[in-house]
Amino acid sequence: MIMGTYSILGKPRHYAWGGMNFIPSLVGVKNTDSKPFAEWWLGAHPDDSSLVEVNGEQEPLLEWLKSNQQAQAQEERQGEFPLPFLMKILDVNQMLAIQVHPTKAQAEEGFERQDKLGIARTASERTYRDRNDKPEMMVALTPCWLAHGFMAAETIINRFSVYSSFGQLCDQLRLFGVQAAFELLMRMPQSEINMLLGEIIDTHQERYTRGHICQQQPEYWACRAVLMHRSGYDRGLVAMFMMNIVHVPVGKGIYQSAGIPHAYLAGQNIEIMSNSDNVVRIGPTKLHVDLDEVHRLIDYCEVAPKLLSPTEIEGEVNIRRYPHGGTKAFNLSQLMLNDENTEVEYQSSYLSMIFVAQERLSVSSEGDLKKYGQGETFIIPANTKVLLSSTNCVGYIASYGAKNANY
């Protein structure tokens, strides 16, 4: 019988770009092997399903949802996976590769195409590991920086024209626009990439070392990648000079739709996305780069970054939703309880997952009382009413994105 709430244990991802301490400290696990903790997965993705605790025993959330379909509304279960969203905690210690994600139609076509080519679904050169699109949104837990979408051609020219070695790219931009310049950059031999980045690093190395470059400048991040993290002279660092550099304050969010090039540069955040692992990388990265697929997916339009603030839901001061407006796969809301507003009733037509980011949260349902501390996560089955209470708690509620009766 499905009732009450169920604890969820996330799964770590030890990518090299992650930090050592933030995630282990937040979620209460030990980093005994001194591995980087880049991501903490909270969901039911087949590659790494979280665990759910039922009657003192743990089992993969993926399998539990298949066996307990009444925990979700039918609308949630129409996708390829039993849970349409995946939530993650990220610790971005080093710049991630610039990447793009496909639309649903592109993912389905690409998945079938790579299956017919006989590329194993676990192969490093496999781009499409599932048939899902991958829209995503992040909310900053600490101040975050990212590269997001292309700027206008004239603005890019102003950035490039500072450097003598960028003449060819400037000419391409003036004559043919952003797409032509980007494609030229992607075709350039490594010797020319070395020349472009060499001029940038030589010009700004001393200023970076002295702390005299603003983080709003792409030069800061290029120097940081090369001088601090030894990423090498990668064309992705030049591509970043064509993109908006965005600061996301704590509690604010940003949405990444299909085709928008983006890269997290630094900071810790909570990220929610459709349940997919389809990523097409540009660089800097040592992983597989498929430039043909990049050119198929990428959106070259000028982007004006839009930060998202949590907004009240029907006058409810304790729960505020981030209005991304981009997908039905997920919603993310912020839960805030304090001395003035100590409790709120919560019930959703869909399964919800709550991550406790700060302090403690008490949850009561049909006489059952449970307490969750900082870094813990639990699910609330569909149509289950709970009372959430605390005198000092911040949490994040992930749920299916379609409008429902309560939240």
- More confident call, 403 vs 165: 165
Q: Is the pLDDT at 342 greater than 60, yes or no?
A: yes
pTM, whole model, 2 decimals? 0.92
Q: What is the mean pLDDT of residues 400-404?
A: 68
pLDDT digits (tens, 9 = 90+) for 86-123: 999 999 999 999 999 999 999 999 999 999 999 998 88
Q: According to the model, what pLDDT value does residue 406 have?
A: 40
Q: According to the model, what pLDDT value does residue 78 have?
A: 67
Q: What is the mean pLDDT of residues 109-138?
A: 90
Q: Lowest mean pLDDT: which of 34-38, 218-222, 366-370?
A: 366-370
Beta strand residue intervals within 109-171, DSSP E: 136-140, 144-150
- Other beta carbons within 10 angstroms of residue 60's beta carbon come to 16
Band (407; pLDDT cuts 50, 70, 90): very low
Nearest 5 degrees, angle CA 32-CA 36-CA 37? Answer: 90
Radius of gyration of the chain (CA): 22
Band (275; pLDDT cuts 50, 70, 90): confident
Mean confidence (pLDDT) of the chain: 92
As a whole-number percent, the residues of the chain with pLDDT over 90 amount to 76
Beta strand residue intervals within 126-276, DSSP E: 136-140, 144-150, 243-248, 253-256, 262-274
Q: What amino acid is encoded at 124 in this protein?
A: S
pLDDT digits (tens, 9 = 90+) for 183-216: 999 999 999 999 999 999 999 999 999 999 999 9
- Other beta carbons within 10 angstroms of residue 149's beta carbon come to 21
- Report how far residue 52's alpha carbon sits from residue 66's, in angstroms, rounded to the nearest whole number: 13
Q: According to the model, what pLDDT value does residue 404 have?
A: 42
Q: Is the pLDDT at 45 greater than 90, yes or no?
A: no
Nearest 5 degrees, angle CA 97-CA 14-CA 56? Answer: 135
Q: According to the model, what pLDDT value does residue 403 have?
A: 56
Write down the residue that tokens 């937040």 correspond to: 26
Segment holding 281, helix H or strand E:
strand 280-283
- Report how far residue 20's alpha carbon sits from residue 236's, in angstroms, rounded to the nearest whole number: 25
Q: What is the mean pLDDT of residues 147-171?
A: 96
